[in-house]
Amino acid sequence: MRSYLSVLVLSMLGLLASCGGGGQSSQVFELFQGAVYQATELHQYGEVTYSHRPNRNGEQYTSDARKSQELGTGQLTLLMDVWVPPNATSTTPMPLVIFVHGGGYTQGGKDDEVDKATGYARAGFVTASINYRLTPDNTDSAELRTMAIVQASDDLLNAVRFLKVNAGTYHIDTSRIAIVGSSAGGGLALVAAIEGDPDVLAGTSSDYPGISSHIAASVSTGATLIDDQFDSDPLLHYDRNDAPVLLFHTTPQDQTTGATWDGNVVPTKQRIDASGNSCTTIPTPDAPHTVPLGIDSKWWPTVRDFLWDQLSLSVI
């Protein structure tokens, strides 16, 4: 079978030649390992509608950019942006990475993730960045907090299903999907890792019955599944077929959320590992809350190696 690296090699050879560079595969491999390879052109599908959901009491919205027009409405339109690199074609579908923004489930939007998404796309992945339902004042009660997280999770799981159904349009290899999330988005990435079909997260519904929301890998920073205001244990079904997790978290304590390594990170890892799945934890003592996960960050080699293994990028 054709290797994922070989596809990147062909693309990079053309790029190097156009720049007057050498064409030896060893040089190209070093460029990929260092995340220097960049596709010169990407095809962007902007403002793609992937779902519609009721607007609870007219108080919700899907992003900072759409807040003013969505407050007071009865229905919310969920949007995403998708970037397709030139190495992704109908005959060579590529792995997908979905980016999920942070903001405490009250702010932010898909535009926050453009730099990371385009960076990964230029490295050969199909990428997407999504909006999801945002709920103001969601920390007023544990019940409201849970609702906000479940509804946002519902949106993310339907975004996965939408991209699987439309894999032909975006040239996606649906067996190789990863989610990368920061802060609140990191929490959603963790939920999606554990609660992919056939499990059904209570309070969610599929726009595409029969289409699984299961993913192959999850990368999270600034979040855990153990939260003082969100008791995930009654909701989540841990099992060995869940998606492996790469979890970055500050130690000893997150300055933003108050989560601690021993009290929140370790129990999250223990629950995942005990199911037969795996959670790799990366302590980031120099980070107050999250770490950057773009291909130009110091954490990229760790993410790259994790995706290489979990997405089986050596064979495609």
* Domain of residue 164, CATH code: 3.40.50.1820
Q: Residue 18 sits in which domain range?
A: 1-37
Tokens representing 81 are 């942006």
Residue 271's pLDDT is 97
- Whether 223 and 292 have beta carbons less than 8 Å apart is answered as no
Q: What is the per-residue pLDDT for 34?
A: 43
> Using CA atoms, how far apart are residues 130 and 101, in angstroms rounded to an integer?
8
Asked if residue 107 lies in contact with residue 134, where contact means CB atoms within 8 angstroms, the answer is: yes
What is the number of alpha carbons within 13 Å of residue 282 lying toward its C-beta?
21
Give the pLDDT of residue 200: 82
For residues 101 and 56, state if they share a domain: yes
Domain-embedded: residue 252: yes
Q: For residue 300, how far is the Cα from the chain centroid? A: 15
Q: Is pLDDT above 70 for 57? A: yes
- Domain membership of residue 207 (yes or no) is yes
11 and 98 together in one domain: no
Which residues make beta-bridge pairs with 253? 260
Q: Is 29 domain-assigned?
A: yes
More confident residue, 9 or 228: 228
Residue 315 lies in a domain: no
pLDDT at 38: 65
In a domain, 302, yes or no: yes
Q: What is the pLDDT of residue 30?
A: 31
Q: Are both 156 and 189 inside the same structural domain?
A: yes
pLDDT given for residue 6 in this prediction: 46
83 has a pLDDT exceeding 80: yes
Average confidence (pLDDT) over 220-233:
90
- The 10 Å Cβ neighbour count of residue 298 is 9
Q: Tell me, yes or no, whether 259 and 306 share the same domain.
A: yes
Mean pLDDT in residue range 106-119: 97
Same domain, 107 and 11: no
Same domain, 274 and 223: yes
Helix then strand then coil, in percent of the chain rounded to 5, is 35, 20, 45
Q: Phi, psi at residue 96, to the nearest 5°?
A: -115, 135
User: 28 and 113: one domain?
Assistant: no
Q: Give the DSSP letter string of 49-104.
A: EEEEEE-GGG--BS-TTTHHHHTT-SEEEEEEEEEE-TT--SSS-EEEEEEE--ST
pLDDT of residue 10: 39
Assess if residue 316 is contained within a domain: no
Domain count for the chain, please give it: 2
Cβ contacts of 253 within 8 Å, gap of 6 or more: 259, 260, 261
Q: What's the mean pLDDT in 74-96?
A: 96
| One domain for residues 15 and 54 | no
Same domain (yes/no): 257, 116: yes
Largest CA distance in the chain: 61
Assigned token pair, 99? 């980016």
- Is residue 9 scored above 60 in pLDDT? no
Over residues 145-197, the pLDDT tens digits come to: 999 999 999 999 999 999 999 999 999 999 999 999 999 999 999 999 999 87
Residue 32 sits in the same domain as residue 62 = no
The pLDDT, as a whole number, for residue 228 is: 78
Confidence (pTM): 0.90
Whether residue 24 is found in the same domain as residue 72: no
In this prediction, residue 25 carries a pLDDT of: 30
Query: To the nearest whole number, what is the mean pLDDT of the chain?
Result: 88
pLDDT at 32: 39
DSSP labels, 186-254? HHHHHHHHHS-TTS--TT---SSTT-----SEEEEES--SEETTEE-TTT----TTSPPEEEEE-SSB-
Residue 3 within any structural domain of the chain? yes
Q: Is residue 160 located within the same domain as residue 294?
A: yes
Q: What is the pLDDT of residue 54?
A: 97
Give the mean pLDDT of 230-239.
Answer: 90
The model's pLDDT over 240-278, given as tens digits with 9 standing for 90+, comes to 999 999 999 999 999 999 999 999 999 999 999 999 999
78, part of any domain: yes
Residue 118's pLDDT is 95
Q: Which span out of 1-5, 14-18, 283-287 was modeled with the highest average pLDDT?
A: 283-287
